[in-house]
Structures are given as C-alpha cells and as structure tokens.
A and B are shown apart, each in its own frame.
Chain A
C-alpha cells in the first residue's frame, strides 16, 4: 500500500482562489517532499520539509507538517491556470532508501 495518501484525489477551483491538498502517511519519516507533475511530464520538486520543521514557505506555496498526526498539507495561494497539474507528496521513510510517493491530487484551476 502507499505510504502517503493525498486528499482530495481531485480539486477544481477558480483562478485566484487558494488550493489546499493534504497528505497522510503511516510511519516515521526523515522528511516529506511535494512534487508537481504536468500531464504526462516528469515530476518537479516543489519543497522539502524535514521532520523537525512545522512549516515552510516558497513563493506562493506553504507546507505544514504535523508529525504527531502523520500529516502534511500543501497550500497554493492565489492560484493560476498554470498551476493546473497533479501534486504528489513523497515521504523519506526512516530505514528506507527511496522516496515513496502518494497517489496524487489532480488540481484544475479554471481561468
């Protein structure tokens, strides 16, 4: 089964609105990362948050991590049509050597 599970599976919003995606995971992690994938393209790294961090910002992105609840959220503020993509969380699990990806959230931003 997947280590990380994103919620919702799909999200449709209007340009200018904020988009929030959540990720839950099952075991202890070293860090959690968010990636973006445009349809049929390679994944692009967005942000990495370490297990001892609670919040991180990068431009219009805000990521939070709650290790007690084993969950993370990605907030995209003031969304644009160009933000339309799938977003994946990936966990760097203690004792494992490769990132484990969730099933992703498909975000559609309507112009």
Chain B
C-alpha cells in the first residue's frame, strides 16, 4: 500500500460528459502529480502541484483541469470527454519537488 488513495477505481461514462477524479496523497507529501496511461501513449505526465500551487504542466489538454486543495488532496477534472480519453489516470505524490514518487492504484476511465 503506497498510502496514495484514488477514487473512483473505475468509471464508465459517455462522450461529452464530465468527470472528476480524486487523489489523497501520502501523509506529509506536498507534491501531487497526475499521469495518464494509455496503450498507445504510454505514461504521460499531465500536471504537478506543490503545496497548493501548480508547479509543472505536461501534455494536459485544455479540456482537463486540476487543483490541489488546502488539505493537499487533488482533483483532476476531465470535460467534454472523447473516446480517446479512455485510459488509466494515476496520481502520485512525493515529499518535495523531486525524488521517489508514490503512486495510487489509478482510476480507470472508460468513455463509450
């Protein structure tokens, strides 16, 4: 158990819809990262937050947004969903800005 909690574990929705994925980092970790894993694109970095502030952006679509709350949990919002958004979405946390990442078990999103 990494100590990182992601909900929901599975989500099935339709094109055009909006979903919110939630992540609670390990106790004491200030950084939260979101990654997308799909079969054809591998593990893609989306966005990083550190202590409530956005620190780095990767290949995150404009339809996607995220935030980190004062209690350090984070949410990833995916809107106007397309079939290609079907993937595993991972949250990871770390103590600081670098170093070892601790991953949650992921949220599997299926868009029909």
Which residues of chain A have a CB within 8 Å of any CB of chain B? 2, 30-31, 33, 35, 40-45, 48, 88, 90, 92, 96-104
Contact = CB atoms under 8 A, between A and B. Distances in A.
Contacts of A31: 98
B90 A42 contact: yes
B48 A88 contact: no
Contacts of A44: 2, 103
B2 to A, nearest CB: 6
A44 to B, nearest CB: 7
Interface of B: 2, 4, 33, 35, 42-43, 45, 48, 55-56, 58, 88, 90, 92, 97-106, 108
B100 A41 contact: no
Given A44-B103, A104-B42, A98 B33 contact: yes
A97 B101 contact: no
A42 B2 contact: yes
The B interface, classified by DSSP as helix, strand, loop or mixed, is strand
Contacts of B103: 35, 42-44
A43 B55 contact: no
B42 A45 contact: no
A85 B69 CA distance: 34
17 contacts: A2-B42, A35-B101, A40-B108, A42-B90, A43-B90, A43-B101, A44-B103, A45-B102, A97-B48, A97-B55, A97-B56, A98-B33, A98-B58, A99-B101, A101-B42, A101-B45, A104-B43
B55 to A, nearest CB: 6
Nearest to B50: A97
B100 A33 contact: yes
Q: Ordered nearest first, which 4 A-B pairs have the shortest CB separation?
A: A97-B56, A42-B103, A101-B43, A43-B103
B45 A99 contact: yes
A98 B100 contact: no
B93 to A, nearest CB: 11
B101 A45 contact: yes
A31 B97 CA distance: 13
